[in-house]
DNA sequence: CTGAAAGCGCTAACAC
DNA sequence: GTGTTAGCGCTTTCAG
């Protein structure tokens, strides 16, 4: 049935100009063995650089030459078949590839996986349950070393049944059930850090525009704010916290309310709100940071770094989440207790906070 | 060395609370065959739903039951080993996972690949030649169906030698050498569309702030601008085109120059410049679109959709690039001539252009 | 030091 | 309709 025309041994001089180099690379271990006049076992040993196996230097060289001459490539599938587990790590995401900054989860996972000799197999499920199921099945069938199950924003999730057939860790999400390994951003510390930037610059009346929609981030960032105030010996004033939809329009819309509070600084739930707030403040003829200092959250590069003035904020450690997820999967990171591991959210200072405006109330 | 304690055969009632379900799933085709009292060939046939093979309904059912009962999963590696080529498509990127919006290339490729039964194997090389080499080797060893070689911004590239060992297509980049399949955005059409938005609203004196750095986008977008003017019967005025660094600061900095040109509308090389320009214009007390209409390019969601007013722009079709790349690789898309396929850049109208300001020069 | 041979799990002829 | 069998390319004892 096979209708290849090249007489074996002939170099097949550039058959079709483009398209598949379909000469099907039939160069196998055996071919190399024959060419070098040794057995396949020997070739296997030199290919895998087994330290213990003592091969005559002369033989080794002969094999290496043959490999080069024939353009041999090991067949990873055969290798995996024998060993039983591949060098793949699966990453199923409900939308990280879609959303701007969370692509960093992929990036971090990929770098870390690579570092340990693993390749990333990704599947974007866009939240589609069925697709997700298929993706996990596929990964299982390809004998992945384990699966990273990630979400594009920090939230609780349930664990698809088939996921349990593999070694897995949740990334940027967590499950109610104890024992499921997970890594998430440390929202509380982040909120605390954000507030502390302001505190450090002498502000005492600091407003917080929180999100309206429930999420671990909403609770955590508020808690961090309160902790920071408390440690600074400032009483928590509920009147200083507002809520708005967490995007530019929400931030813009909150301007009026905010100004009634006569705060000297404001900490926004995220950078997008801060961006809207910038516009609102400008319309009121107010300038940042002189009239009001502002800090955001997320460190959404395109926005934060290029607002005028550039926005001080706290970064969501997406890259680290991906990397830590891989490390945890591979058992390189200690799994502390039953809790999800919390990744530190670093502070990024720019110019939207400088001197305390009319500080000291 | 292995110190697992479960007696084999026992259901292992939640042995270790977390970590690997290391029961190594040794359920093979043969196991199913034995359980169902048929041969492996029969099981293989029902698993792969071969239409032609006529299997007694009763037998088929018995096999299915056995499969379910044992929790059988086919081993994709073994399957691939037999067939010679996997259901993988490799995607090597120099930074798409890193950059905000270009992650859409991954997304589009993944969706399209999945649609045809392929999974995506990705590798982010961050421009590192060596890493790139390793990534390609790995993909070759895993017998990928083909490789998508992509760049995070549209540019010329050279083709790594090992890439030729596979079936490949360039995505968002192109090679000097003819015959290499490639898919890129249609910059000229994009530039033309951007200009036409303005034209359609009655503007005749349209400025263009181009980028300072050389790129296909720089040339293409300018050409499109000129074509649009020409078709509208407007003479090209070199005095109306400026150049600036293509980011917020660049756009902001170009404000002064722009205002000297007394244009009624401006088309910016990208959304980031437009964002900076918004700030500049505002400082001059000018409003958009009344005093000046503006359009951008890229449709960088976080920015364009949420500026005040929301920015009209032309989208870079990243998702489509990824999808078209896969289609081309699979031979589903006709490769027209030796040229790279050009993907249409759709127009996204928002409110930064409305009525012609002081139109008619 | 190197070769022979037995599989890894599955598919595809080809019998029966 | 269903079973037998010969590999796919590689690793790995076990002999020699």
Q: How far apart are CA B197 and CA B224, in angstroms?
A: 12
Does the pLDDT value for residue B213 go beyond 90? yes
Helix (H) or strand (E) holding A87: none
* pLDDT tens digits, one per residue of B281-292: 999 999 999 999
In a domain? residue A2: no
Name the domain boundary from B74, B99, B130: B74
Q: Tell me, what CATH number does B313's domain have? A: 3.40.50.2300
Nearest CA in chain B to A102: B100
Q: What is the pTM of this model?
A: 0.86
A290 lies in the same domain as A302: yes
pLDDT at A103: 83
In a domain? residue B225: yes
B68 lies in the same domain as B203: no
Q: How far is the CA of A41 from the C1' of D16 (A)?
A: 15
Q: Would you say the C-beta of A74 is within 7 Å of strand D?
A: yes
A355 lies in the same domain as A337: no
- Weakest mean pLDDT among A15-24, B47-56, B69-78, B210-219: A15-24
In a domain? residue A3: no
Strand B347-348, strand B206-211: pairing: unpaired
Q: What is the DSSP letter of B148?
A: E
CB pairs under 8 A between A and B: 168
Per the model's pLDDT, the better-predicted residue between B96 and A41 turns out to be A41
A209 lies in the same domain as A274: yes
Q: Tell me, what CATH number does A34's domain have? A: 1.10.260.40
Nearest CA in chain A to B73: A141
Q: How far apart are CA B181 and CA B168, in angstroms?
A: 7
Which residue has the least CA–C1' distance to nucleotide D11? A82
A211 lies in the same domain as A311: yes
Does the pLDDT value for residue B45 go beyond 80? yes
**Pair B326, B113: CB distance under 8 Å:** yes
Q: How far is the CA of A140 from the C1' of C2 (A)?
A: 38
**Pair B290, B353: CB distance under 8 Å:** no
Q: Would you say the C-beta of B133 is within 7 Å of strand C?
A: no
A205 lies in the same domain as A241: yes
Per the model's pLDDT, the better-predicted residue between A11 and B49 turns out to be B49
B69 lies in the same domain as B32: yes
**Of residues B123, B145, B187, the one with CA closest to residue B328:** B145
A124 lies in the same domain as A229: no
**Of residues B117, B98, B120, the one with CA closest to residue B108:** B120
In a domain? residue A207: yes
* pLDDT tens digits, one per residue of B174-211: 999 888 999 999 999 999 999 999 999 999 999 999 99
In a domain? residue A12: no
B139 lies in the same domain as B214: no
* pLDDT band with cut points at 50, 70 and 90 for residue B48: confident
Judged by CB atoms closer than 8 Å, whether chains meet at A101 and B97 is answered as no
Mean pLDDT across chain B: 88
In a domain? residue A21: no
In a domain? residue B166: yes
At a CB cut-off of 8 Å and minimum separation 6, what does B229 contact?
Answer: B195, B199, B206, B235, B236
Cβ neighbours of B110 in A, within 8 Å: 97, 122-124
- Weakest mean pLDDT among B29-43, B45-59, B178-192: B45-59
Q: How far apart are CA A143 and CA A85, in angstroms?
A: 5
Q: Which residues of chain A have pLDDT under 50?
A: 1-23, 356-361
Q: Would you say the C-beta of B41 is within 7 Å of strand C?
A: yes
pLDDT at B336: 67
* pLDDT band with cut points at 50, 70 and 90 for residue B8: very low
B55 lies in the same domain as B116: no
The residue behind tokens 């000799």 is A117
Q: Would you say the C-beta of B78 is within 7 Å of strand C?
A: yes
pLDDT at A12: 32
In a domain? residue A11: no
* pLDDT tens digits, one per residue of B296-340: 999 998 889 989 899 999 999 999 999 999 999 999 987 766 689
A124 lies in the same domain as A224: no
Judged by CB atoms closer than 8 Å, whether chains meet at B119 and A123 is answered as yes
Number of folded domains that form chain A: 3
Domain of B51? Answer: 27-74
**Pair A146, A169: CB distance under 8 Å:** yes
Per the model's pLDDT, the better-predicted residue between A118 and B98 turns out to be A118
A268 lies in the same domain as A219: yes
């Amino acid at each position: 049935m096979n209708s290849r025309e090249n007489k074996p041994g002939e170099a097949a001089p550039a058959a079709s100009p483009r398209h598949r180099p379909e000469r099907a690379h039939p160069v196998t271990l055996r071919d190399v063995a024959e060419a070098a006049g040794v057995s396949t076992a020997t070739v296997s040993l030199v290919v895998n650089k087994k330290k213990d196996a003592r091969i005559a230097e002369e033989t080794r060289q002969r094999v290496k030459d043959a490999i080069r001459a024939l353009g041999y490539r090991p067949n990873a599938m055969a290798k995996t078949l024998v060993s039983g587990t591949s060098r793949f790590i699966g990453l199923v995401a409900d939308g990280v590839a879609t959303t701007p900054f969370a692509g960093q989860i992929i990036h971090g996972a990929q770098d870390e996986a690579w570092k340990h000799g693993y390749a990333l197999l990704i599947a974007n499920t866009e939240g589609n349950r069925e697709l997700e199921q298929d993706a996990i099945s596929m990964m299982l069938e390809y004998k992945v070393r384990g699966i990273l199950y990630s979400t594009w924003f920090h939230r609780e999730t349930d664990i698809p049944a088939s996921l349990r057939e593999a070694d897995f860790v949740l990334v940027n999400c967590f499950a109610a059930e104890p024992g499921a390994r997970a890594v998430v951003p440390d929202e509380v510390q982040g909120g605390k850090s954000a507030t502390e930037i302001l505190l450090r610059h002498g502000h005492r009346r600091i407003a917080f525009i929180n999100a309206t929609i429930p999420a671990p981030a909403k609770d955590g960032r508020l808690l961090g704010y309160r902790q920071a105030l408390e440690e600074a010996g400032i009483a928590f004033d509920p009147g200083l916290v507002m809520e708005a939809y967490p995007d530019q329009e929400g931030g813009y819309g909150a301007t009026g309310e905010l100004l009634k509070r006569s705060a000297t600084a404001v900490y926004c739930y995220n950078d997008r709100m801060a961006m809207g707030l910038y516009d609102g403040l400008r319309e009121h003829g107010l300038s940042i940071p002189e009239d009001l200092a502002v800090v955001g959250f997320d460190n959404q590069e395109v926005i934060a770094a290029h607002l005028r003035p550039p926005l001080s904020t706290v970064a969501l450690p997406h890259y680290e989440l991906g990397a830590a997820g891989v490390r945890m999967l591979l058992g390189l990171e200690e799994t502390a207790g039953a809790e999800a591991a919390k990744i530190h959210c670093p502070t990024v200072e720019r110019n939207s906070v400088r001197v305390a405006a009319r500080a000291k109330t």
